[in-house]
């Protein structure tokens, strides 16, 4: 469990380096929103993964990005 929490912490930093709206490589949302997307990803059925497990790699990061983008789209639709 301790290793999982350390991996999760590192993965959260990793996702923030990419998607944080302050200084991310591809700024999309706040750190809080990234945390929510990660939480959703960890509880989302992952049938598309061959192992069925999260390994906190770039594939998982891109899946978190997909959740972020879907949330942005929904927010834009309800704002119009």
Each residue's pLDDT tens digit, 6-65: 999 999 999 999 999 999 999 999 999 999 999 999 987 666 555 667 899 999 999 999
Task: Identify the pLDDT of residue 43.
Answer: 87
Cα dist from 7 to 4, 21, 77, whole Å: 5, 22, 34
Domain span holding position 39: 2-79
Q: How many domains does the chain have?
A: 1
Give 73's contacts (C-beta < 8 A, 6+ positions apart): none
């Amino acid at each position: 469990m301790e290793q999982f929490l350390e991996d999760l912490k590192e993965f959260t930093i990793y996702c923030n380096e990419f998607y944080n709206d302050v200084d991310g490589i591809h700024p999309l949302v706040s750190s809080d929103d990234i945390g929510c997307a990660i939480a959703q990803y960890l509880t989302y059925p992952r049938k598309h993964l061959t192992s069925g497990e999260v390994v906190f790699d770039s594939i998982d990061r891109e899946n978190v990005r997909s959740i972020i983008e879907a949330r942005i789209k929904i927010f834009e639709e309800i704002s119009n």
